[in-house]
Amino acid sequence: MPVHLIDLQKRPDLAGPADALVASVWPIFVLKDQVAGRYWHQLYSMPVAAFQTVAVETIDTVEHVVGFANAIPFAWDGLETSLPDEGWDAVLRNGMECLLKGGRANTLSALSITVRPDKRGSGLAERQIEAMKASAAAAGLNAMVAPVRPTRKAHYPLQPFEEYCSWRRPDGLPFDPWIRTHQRLGAHIVKIAPRSMVIEAPVEAWESWTGMTFPATGRYWVSGALAPIEIDLDTGRGLYVEPNLWMRYFL
């Protein structure tokens, strides 16, 4: 069945099913980012809803959400060295503050692309990226960037993030399939965003999210994480700082 891309400005009723898809696919702790907790759902009710795209497949007149792509315009000076070390958190915060204060954005940042597992490999993710680029160009923005979360880094927990991102296949393309996808669609690697997402929560919450027990203070690797979780039993807190990879598209 054909899959259609529809933005939330036209179909706000799709926000609930899109959120449900995200919750079913992503590691739960990633959804607990503090900046996201403050700003995420404001993306759905403001003019930036036009940059939130839902992929819908209709079967026997019933709509099924099979993908969700999120992006936000923000103000950027165009210097690649100035892309923030705080990556994902920074562009969501800065983009929303720019909007709320009546500022002028000139760049689109991707925030996430979610694809239902049975639709992976179908080209849907690529369509969502191309739709983002088209929406940025249509809005008169100068560039598009993305704090990319490499999809297979969690499979290689012992490798430093920067080293992993530098791996190449024999054909010279990036080893990681998500980095490779962005590169094939025209993006180039800029730099690491070492503190792209920060999640801090009580140890009990981490145990609930991960299904693990943390018997001592220290660093732990949990499923789906790109970096270790720092557990401190003296304070009763756990801290996760996720790196991402800045990539840039020219429109």
User: Tens digits of per-residue pLDDT, 84-111?
Assistant: 999 999 999 999 999 989 889 999 999 9
CA dihedral (177, 84, 107, 96) positive or negative:
positive
Residue 138 domain-assigned?
yes
The bridge status of strand 3-7 relative to strand 229-232 is unpaired
Q: Is 208 domain-assigned?
A: no
Cα–Cα separations (whole angstroms), residue 175 to 45, 88, 117, 223, 245: 38, 22, 21, 20, 14
Structural domain of residue 30, as residue ranges?
Answer: 3-197+244-250
CATH code where residue 7 lies: 3.40.630.30
Residue 224 resides in a domain: no
Answer yes or no: is 66 within a domain. yes
Q: Does 122 score more than 90 pLDDT?
A: yes
Whether residue 36 is predicted with pLDDT greater than 90 in this model: the reply is yes
In a domain, 25, yes or no: yes
Of the candidates 129, 184, 126, 120, the residue with the CA atom closest to the CA atom of residue 152: 120
Using a pLDDT cut of 90, give the percent of the chain over it.
Answer: 93
Residue 196 pLDDT > 90, yes or no?
yes
- The structural domain count of the chain equals 1
Q: What pLDDT score was predicted for residue 89?
A: 98
Q: How far is CA 13 from CA 8, 10, 65, in A?
A: 8, 9, 11
Query: Is 225 within the bounds of a domain?
Result: no
CA distances from 31 to 16, 62, 138 (A): 15, 28, 30
Is 12 inside a domain boundary? Answer: yes
244 close to 238: Cβ distance less than 8 angstroms? no
Does residue 223 lie in a domain region?
no
pLDDT tens per residue across span 205-233: 999 999 999 999 999 999 999 999 999 99
